[in-house]
Amino acid sequence: MRIGYDGKRAVFNNTGLGNYSRLLVDVLSDTYPEHEYILFSPRLQSNPRLEPLLKKPNVSVEIPDTAIGRAASSIWRIQGITSQLSRSKIDLAHGLSGELPLNISTSNIPTVVTIHDLIFRKFPECYSAIDREIYDYKFRNAAVNATRVLAISECTKRDLINEYDINPERIDVVYQGCHAQFKRTPTQEEIDSVKTRYGLDRPYILSVGTVERRKNQIMPVRGVRGLPDDFDVVLVGRHTSYVKEIQQYIRQYNIADRVKFLDNVPFADLPALYAGAFCSSYTSRYEGFGIPVIESLAVGTPVIVATGSCLEEAGGPDIPAVDPDDVEEWVNTVKELVNYPNAHRKIATKGKAYINRFSDLNMATDTMDVYQKALDSSPIS
């Protein structure tokens, strides 16, 4: 079977959607080496994270094969790619980031689309009006017209049903895992080296993710004032204008020495940063899944999450979950982990066992099952 993918994110992005795209193709190509996996991208770009994937004999990249497609790559991606998929004799097409070509139904190629989340509908204030319109149009069109819809969590499946009235019989939940680097516990030497490099000489609570209002990093920053004076909060992620709001709070309460911002952290440093933390905090108001939860638990570090979306689904029944607006509850939860080391160990141990379900093998086999359903059926309205 020749499987074609919308490969733009795999080629260009080094965060969430790019990581998902590369990971899925990687695990599928290992688990089912008899198939061919072709990433269709507007153009090629050097990307160290993609290069190992392209060394596999059954993985390749195709760029527009016409002059018009190369000159107008954005139009090619939403329409022109369909005829190229047919010329390339693709048996099944998979949109990895909530999109399918608008005219894909004219090709008779079975399709799958991955929908990660509908946050732009849940938190419209976090997006510009034009972005909301574009996302809504593309995601709705893809979800309505795909042969099968792949949701990354039960939370996203519920949103697809409630927001777009998608037939639940057409939606399959396939969980993703985290990068292989998190599946090995860092050595103490590696942890100490990373902590020294970033000036982390006291116990710290780690929060990983783009620093933006929806992810609610102000919560641990507010909460650190209620913790022992030797505890810090470390925020790792790309900055947005939300950083100014957090910095204003830091200045107001004179806690600059207890909050550290780390931007442009190499991906390879994350496992040791997680492993060196007392615990992680991921109190986002809404997520499609929450990979940082799995990353933290994978290296043995407990994590505190927020209620209200999928984060409890990602971390399991034993991780502590707090209201995203209840700072006192967050503080009391951290204090309980400090005062009761057995609770700290229990959350880490049970959480690590729970996330075994998010394995590469399960991701590959479950996705291939979705492909087979798409091949065996026509779209259900």
pLDDT in tens, 182-235: 989 999 999 999 999 999 999 999 999 999 999 999 999 999 999 999 999 999
Q: Provide the CB-side half-sphere exposure for 238 (13 A, CA).
A: 6
pLDDT class of 381 with cuts at 50, 70, 90: very low
Determine the Cα–Cα distance for residues 265 and 269; give it in Å rounded to an integer.
7
Give pLDDT tens digits for 341-359.
999 999 999 999 999 999 9
The whole-number pLDDT of residue 179 equals 83
Q: Exposed, middle or buried, 220 (CB in 10 Å: 0-12/13-18/19+)?
A: buried
The CATH class given to the 2-177+359-376 domain equals: alpha beta
- Write down the architecture of domain 180-357 according to CATH: 3-Layer(aba) Sandwich (3.40)
**Cβ-Cβ contacts under 8 Å for 163 (sequence gap 6 or more):** 118, 121
Which pLDDT does position 177 carry in this prediction?
84
CA 49 to CA 14: how far, in whole Å? 8
Percent of the chain with pLDDT over 70: 99
Do domains 2-177+359-376 and 180-357 share one topology? The answer is: yes
pTM (2 d.p.): 0.90
Residue 327, burial from CB neighbour count under 10 angstroms (0-12, 13-18, 19+): buried
Supply the pLDDT for residue 378: 54
pLDDT value at 322 more than 60:
yes
Distance of alpha carbon 282 from alpha carbon 381, whole angstroms: 37
Average pLDDT over residues 107-121: 95
Asked if pLDDT for residue 380 goes beyond 70, the answer is no
User: Which residue do the tokens 């099968």 mark?
Assistant: 148
Mean pLDDT of 114-123: 94
Given a contact cutoff of 8 angstroms between Cβ atoms, the answer to whether 95 and 6 are in contact is yes
**The pair of three-digit structure tokens given for residue 124, joined into one six-digit string:** 């419209």
Residues 374 and 93: their CA atoms lie apart, in Å, by 10
What is the per-residue pLDDT for 13? 84
Give yes or no for a contact between 77 and 56, defined as CB atoms under 8 angstroms apart.
no
Q: What is the pLDDT of residue 180?
A: 85
pLDDT tens-digit readout, 144-170: 999 999 999 999 999 999 999 999 999
Q: Answer whether 280's CB lies under 8 Å from 242's CB.
A: no
Query: Within 10 A of 254 (CB to CB), how many other CB atoms are there?
Result: 9
Domain ranges of the chain: 2-177+359-376, 180-357
